[in-house]
Structure formats: structure tokens, C-alpha cells
Amino acid sequence: MGLIKELAKDIVYGIGDFLTFGKGINRNIGGFDIRFPVRFSRYYPTDYEPYLFQFLKKNCHEGYTFLDCGAHIGLFSVVGSRIVGERGKVVSFEPMPSIRAVLENTISINNCSNVTVRPEAVSSKIGEARFFDTGNVASNANSLVRQDRHAGNITVPVTTIDQVRAEMNLRINCIKIDVEGAEYDLLVGAEKTIKEDRPILFLSLHPPAIAQGGQSLEMIWNILAGYSYSVQLSGTEIDRNYFISQADLFDVECYAI
């Protein structure tokens, strides 16, 4: 019965793709008109992540280079592309092949010629690693850190922000980091970039996943402090005690001092 239901959905989505000439369905999210492949057009509510939209409008500007670490199906890659314009660049990281295919489709149907999609997970080293997935075709909870909700894993390439910066000859201005518990390793692998380019960071923190990976919010606070960055929550600077005491997902902005 489940297989029949999935086949029926595939037929419906196929018809939708045919009727839209493969151009997807337009949605207005966060004030941006964005087209999504038919199958994923209802994934995001119209009021999704208002804090992140506000951050990008405030801190990402025309001509900037924006990194989307944890790009998923491309919402913020498209938003970033629109903001930085033709003179800017967006680099989007999505290691899960099935989701990366959706990301690439989203980039294509929105005519985002300034976006480069990378197949690596972003970490503190260059090589390969196990990448854990939930088994859901549209999951945004896949990670380098194994969690109870994960059902399987694949081997994916891993890289560092410093390596990508050197390889692509970039000066990086703004980074969105949403990597489901791998935040510390990503920051370690961005040391040269952060010290030399001083990019503004939007950091989604996942305390249970961070702990599952054997790291801590204190370690992340210490590395940000070592890079001489201040940390803000909803526009208000926060201190170490508040930061390390959080138990659930929270988002912060990080600015060079």
C-alpha cells in the first residue's frame, strides 16, 4: 500500500512538472518570490526563519561572497543570490546526493547564475566521512554527527572553508552555518578565513547534536572568542554563561570585534 501511494505521488508530481514546463511553483517566503520544484513547493511555510531573513537583508550586500553551509533544497542560496547580485557569489554546500539534486534544480529554475553548488560536507579536514541521514527524501536533519533519528549513512567528501576559499580564490563576507551538530569542526576549518576576511556569521546551534558528537557549546564559545567575535541573539549581545547554558536549538549572529 505504501509503495502504491508513493507511485501515485510520483505520477502527480510528474504531471505538475509537465504542466509547469519544469519551472516549478512560485512561493513568496520572507518577502522573496522563489520557485521550487513541484514536489517540494510546500516544504517551507511563508513565515519560515524570519530571523535569518532579517539577518541576510541587514548583513549581506551586493557584490558579497556568501557561503550557505547546509544549503538543503536551496531557499537561502536563492535569497543570497538575489541579495549579492551579479557581482556577488554564493557557494552552497549539500553533501546528500538526492537533496543536492533538488538544490541544483532550485538554483536552475530561479536562474541563479552566481551560485556554485559543492558536494562536500564542511568540517575541519579534507577527505571523506560518514554522513548520516534520516531516510526522508526532503530531510534537513542529515549530519556528520550520528543522532537517534538517523536511519542510515553514506560516505561523502568533506572539505574546509579555508580550502574552498583558497581553491576558488574567494574573499568571504558572510556565512550561514546550519550543519546539525558539526558547528565546532566547521569553525576550526575556517580559521584562516575568519582571521583574514572577518566574515559575519549566522550560526544555528544544535546543543543535543553537538553533545552527541563529543563537543560542547563551551568549545564553540571559546573558538569564537579566540577569533575575537562578539555573539548576538535577536540583536542583543549575549555572554558566555547564557550561551553555554542553552539546551535547545538557537540561532546567533557573530560579528568581528
User: 88 by DSSP, 3-state: which?
Assistant: coil
CA distance 90 to 80: 7
Question: What pLDDT is stored for residue 193 in this prediction?
Answer: 98
CA proximity to 213, closest of 89, 151, 126, 123: 123
Which pLDDT tens digit goes with each residue over 23-39? 899 999 999 999 999 99
Which pLDDT tens digit goes with each residue over 111-142? 999 999 999 999 999 999 999 999 888 889 89
Distant-in-sequence, close-in-space partners of 69: CB < 8 Å, separation ≥ 6:
93, 122, 161, 175, 176, 177, 178, 179, 186
Q: Which residue has the higher pLDDT, 16 or 156?
A: 156
Question: What pLDDT is stored for residue 163 in this prediction?
Answer: 98
CA proximity to 68, closest of 57, 58, 81: 81
Q: How confident is the model at residue 13 (pLDDT cuts 50, 70, 90)?
A: low
CA distance 103 to 106: 5
Residue ranges covered by each domain of the chain = 1-41, 49-256
Which pLDDT tens digit goes with each residue over 188-235? 999 999 999 999 999 999 999 999 999 999 999 999 999 999 999 999
Which pLDDT tens digit goes with each residue over 48-75? 999 999 999 999 999 999 999 999 999 9
Copy the grid coordinates of residue 202: 549566522
Which pLDDT tens digit goes with each residue over 160-178? 999 999 999 999 999 999 9
Q: Judge contact between 116 and 154, C-beta under 8 A.
A: no
- Given a cut of 70, whether residue 19 has pLDDT beyond it is no
CA distance 58 to 44: 22
3-state secondary structure string across 57-69? HHHCCCCCEEEEE
Q: Which of 11-15, 100-104, 176-180, 242-246 has the lowest mean pLDDT?
A: 11-15
**Helix and strand numbers, DSSP H then E, in the chain:** 10, 13
CA distance 224 to 163: 20
Question: What pLDDT is stored for residue 71 in this prediction?
Answer: 97
CA distance 82 to 148: 37
CATH classification number, 49-256, choose in 3.40.50.150, 3.40.50.1820, 3.40.50.720, 3.90.220.20? 3.40.50.150
